[in-house]
Amino acid sequence: MQILKLRNGGILLYDKSFLPAELADRYWVELRDQTAWEQKPGIFGHMQPRLIASYGAAGISYRYSGSDYAALPWTSTLLEIKRRIEAVRGEYNYCLLNCYRSGKDSMGWHADDEPEMGDVIGSLSLGATRKFRIRHKTTRETQTFLAGHGTLIIMAGTMQQFWQHEVPKTKMLVGERINLTFRKIARNESAC
């Protein structure tokens, strides 16, 4: 596992082969076939260029791009993956899953810096390899990582305050990719 100490206190942990291939294959099939995938409107009413699903603890929801994403109950597969990632770093009560169906599906530059979110995000990639890029908000310094089948990236420290990240579109012919981002979301008082 690589541990990168970034400008302004950001920390990025990168393990290209966090999962053995057989386990990554099993998770890929289970998540592809058993996840409640949806395509939702994003900013300005355009459909998001990927499929999404939300799972987690009862009463947890995540708000971004003007929409609330209430968590469906954890599946046994997601709980198993969550435990593996928590053994490295973090404690999580919510998982946002993204399915990138082809190189046309993407996630633009953004930071997960909402006030209710903790400062550690565990991101696991399954399926096709895609570029994962980070960019400092002020200096525009950019780094690129390959997120492949079984790759784990953990963003921590002050990364969300000072850095953005993206999964850009590509014209290369690529297959499907599933990305799981585990987060610790503060409970709304009404949910307690």
Nearest residue to 27 (alpha-carbon basis) of 127, 132, 131: 127
150 touches 173 (CB < 8 A): no
Backbone angles phi, psi at 159, to 5 degrees: -60, -45
pTM above 0.75, yes or no: yes
Q: How far apart are the C-alpha atoms of 55 and 73, rounded to whole Å?
A: 6
How much is the pLDDT for 97? Answer: 95
| Amino acid identity at 16 | K
| Amino acid identity at 192 | C
Divide the 192 residues of the chain into consecutive groups of 10 and give the mean pLDDT of each group: 96 98 97 89 64 93 74 97 98 95 87 87 97 97 97 97 95 94 77 34
- Burial string for 21-51 (b: 16+ CB within 10 Å, else e) reads eeebeebbebbeeebebeeeebeeeeebbbb
Q: Which domains does the chain have, with CATH numbers?
A: 2-183 (2.60.120.590)
